[in-house]
Amino acid sequence: MAANRSASSLPQRLILDSGAVISWSKGDARTRAILREAIIRRIELRVPVVVLAETLRGGARDAPVNRVLKAVGTAATAPDTGREAGRLLGRTGGCNTADALIAAEALAIPGSTILTSDPNDLRALLGDQDGTGIQAV
């Protein structure tokens, strides 16, 4: 399922970034297939709260995203996750706080995979961290 781990090793949880949430909300067949497989295999699905700020605008157009969020739920960001995100930004010279928070969320529990439409930016943040995968949509 994940690009950074062997095919036989399944993630403990799948973290959806904004691109993955939007892709799922638009009915993308590939994203739906990945998530259907994760649900069948009882892999925990999480949407970090920062994804809400990136995907919701407070209007009727939010309905498809809200359906995704209702199905998955959101994960509150712990202070330690925020600190780790800052460390990742400092180490890489990056400036995308949302991506850093998503990467830090994945690092909090080894065995996590990030489902993303932006794999290169997340790879840059994660470097060669063992135990964290990236799956492109």
pLDDT of the chain along its 137 residues, tens only? 544 444 446 788 999 999 999 999 999 999 999 999 999 999 999 999 999 999 999 999 999 999 999 989 888 899 999 999 999 999 999 999 999 999 999 999 888 999 999 999 999 999 877 789 999 99
Residue of 7, 10, 26, 50 whose CA lies nearest to 137: 26
Domain count, the chain: 1
Q: Is 70 left (phi over 0), alpha (psi -120 to 50) or beta?
A: alpha
Helices and strands counted in the chain (H then E): 7, 4
Total residue length of the chain: 137
Residue 20 structural domain: 13-128
Residue 8 maps to a domain: no
Residue 7 maps to a domain: no
Residue 108 maps to a domain: yes
Q: What is the distance between the alpha carbons of residues 36 and 113, in angstroms, rounded to a whole number?
A: 15
- The amino acid present at 97, given as its one-letter code, is T
Which 3 state secondary structure label does DSSP give 134? strand
Residue 42 maps to a domain: yes
Residue 36 maps to a domain: yes
Burial of 35 (0-12, 13-18, 19+ CB in 10 A): buried
pLDDT for 1 equals 55
Residue 5 maps to a domain: no
Q: What is the CATH number of the domain that holds 114?
A: 3.40.50.1010
Residue 44 maps to a domain: yes
- Residue 52 C-alpha from the chain's centroid: 12
pLDDT for 69 equals 92
Residue 2 maps to a domain: no
